[in-house]
Amino acid sequence: MLPASAYAVDADIRRAESLPAAAFTDVEFLTRELETIFHNAWLFAPEPNSDDDTRSLAAQVAARGARAPFAQLGRPLFLQRGWDDDELRAFGNTCTHAWFPLVQGPSRGPTLVCGQHGRRFDCTGRFVSQPGFAGLPDFPRACDHLAPVAVAPWRDHLFTRFAADGAPLAETLAAVDESLVRFPDNLARAPGAGVVREVAGNWKQHAWNYLDRFHIGFIHRAPGGLADAIDLASYQTELHGDAVLQWAWASDPADGIDPALLPARFADPGGRRVFALWWFVWPNLTLNFYPWGLSVNVYQPVPGRPDVTRFIWTHHVLDPQKHAARDRRWLSSQVDAEDIDALAQVTRGLRSGLAPRGRFAPADETGPHWFHRKVALAVTP
Ligand code: FES
Ligand SMILES: [Fe+2]
């Protein structure tokens, strides 16, 4: 790692330099990010990616005693609904005896029995019994019970946090919630629309690019690009603590969100309609609300590999007909392909070893500046 001062990002966008290239290529910097940013933040729990069972993760663990496995940053975890209470808990999916994964798929019951040597846990994660362990001194120890991970629901989704302490999820998402008070929260998971890809580029390049309105007129240019579908001059970037909202009027009001679904501040007496609410939630989640529903993107770092990102993409449908037209009217696949290609090129550009720290265009790059500074403060406080 470079000295901490080499990563500092000035609060004044007119003076600030971007994070150095090393922050995007250095394995040690990625390790530090995992220990700080990804340890302390609420992280979206990726929805199960199965065509057979399209229930959300939250639905899979709605009933008393229900449990379901999932992974966060490649780490196996499981969710467990209480048997004697309604509480939802999350634990490492690792037996405390000899580390066998405890939960292989959705199941339900008052106790959980490990498949390798029969250790039994209750629905609060406490060791109950195991053959051969009766009368052992100093047993069970605290670490023979399962270690909890924080979990919190949001609409039909779940977030987890490895750190035991921190602000509640509702605080992180307060501004997002304010924008969604009239937006339905019972969207249906689109079958077969889940995508998990390993794509080129550090996770921060994807977040940076998402927050960058400046590239739209170039990478998504007219004719036929996103720059045509929106009124680019109306593009707004709003910084809200741990979340950033970007939005613009649709060029054609028929492609805009029904004003009845949005707060009054998005109403336009001239009849213009919002093309999308593009929410970025620190550190690596985007929630994209369109007339057809919600597109969720997660940019997961891959431990030990700073030059790739695990890109998770699911759809949650409000209007099936509009969802079917998402590529034609909202350019869903086209914008995605253009961004993925641009970031593969940036990743190649970085390999020169001659990339200086950049500067920010003050009117156009408030989102990227916010993000770079937040990373710097979190990793090298
Ligand atoms: S690993 Fe679970 S009982 Fe041995
Ligand atoms: Fe883009």
Residue ranges, comma separated, of all CATH 2.102.10.10 domains in the chain are: 57-155
User: What pLDDT sits at residue 372?
Assistant: 98
Q: Which of 94, 116, 120 to mutate to test the pocket of ligand 1 (most atoms within 8 A of CB)?
A: 116
* Residue of 204, 371, 210 lying closest to 296 (CA atoms): 210
Residue 200's H or E segment, with its range, is strand 195-200
Please state which CATH class domain 57-155 belongs to: mainly beta
Separation of CA 132 and ligand 1 centre (Å)? 12
User: What pLDDT sits at residue 225?
Assistant: 96
Q: Pocket around ligand 1: residues whose beta carbon is below 6 Å from it?
A: 95, 97-100, 114, 116-119
In the chain, % of residues over pLDDT 90: 94
Q: What is the pLDDT of residues 210-222, one digit of tens each?
A: 999 999 999 999 9
Separation of CA 100 and ligand 1 centre (Å)? 6
Half-sphere exposure of 50 (CA within 13 A, CB side): 12
User: What pLDDT sits at residue 191?
Assistant: 74
* Residue where the block lists tokens 């213009």: 272
Point out the residues of the chain with pLDDT beneath 70.
51, 192-193
Separation of CA 99 and ligand 2 centre (Å)? 42
Are the CB atoms for 67 and 78 separated by under 8 Å? yes
Are the CB atoms for 205 and 24 separated by under 8 Å? yes
- Closest residue by Cα to atom 3, ligand 1, is 117
User: What pLDDT sits at residue 194?
Assistant: 76
16: helix, strand or coil: coil
User: What pLDDT sits at residue 193?
Assistant: 64
Q: Give the amino acid at 298.
A: V
User: What pLDDT sits at residue 168?
Assistant: 98
User: What pLDDT sits at residue 244?
Assistant: 98
To the question of domain 174-379 being in CATH 3.90.380.10, the answer is yes
Token reading at 375: 């990373």
Separation of CA 59 and ligand 2 centre (Å)? 32
Are the CB atoms for 204 and 373 separated by under 8 Å? no
pTM beyond 0.85: the answer is yes
Separation of CA 78 and ligand 2 centre (Å)? 34
Token reading at 121: 């846990």
- Closest residue by Cα to atom 1, ligand 1, is 98
Please identify, by atom number, the ligand 1 atom nearest to the C-alpha of residue 102: 2
Residue ranges, comma separated, of all CATH 3.90.380.10 domains in the chain are: 174-379
Write down the mean pLDDT value for the chain: 96
Phi, psi (rounded to 5 degrees) for 240:
-130, 70
Alpha-carbon gap, residue 74 to 77, rounded angstroms? 9
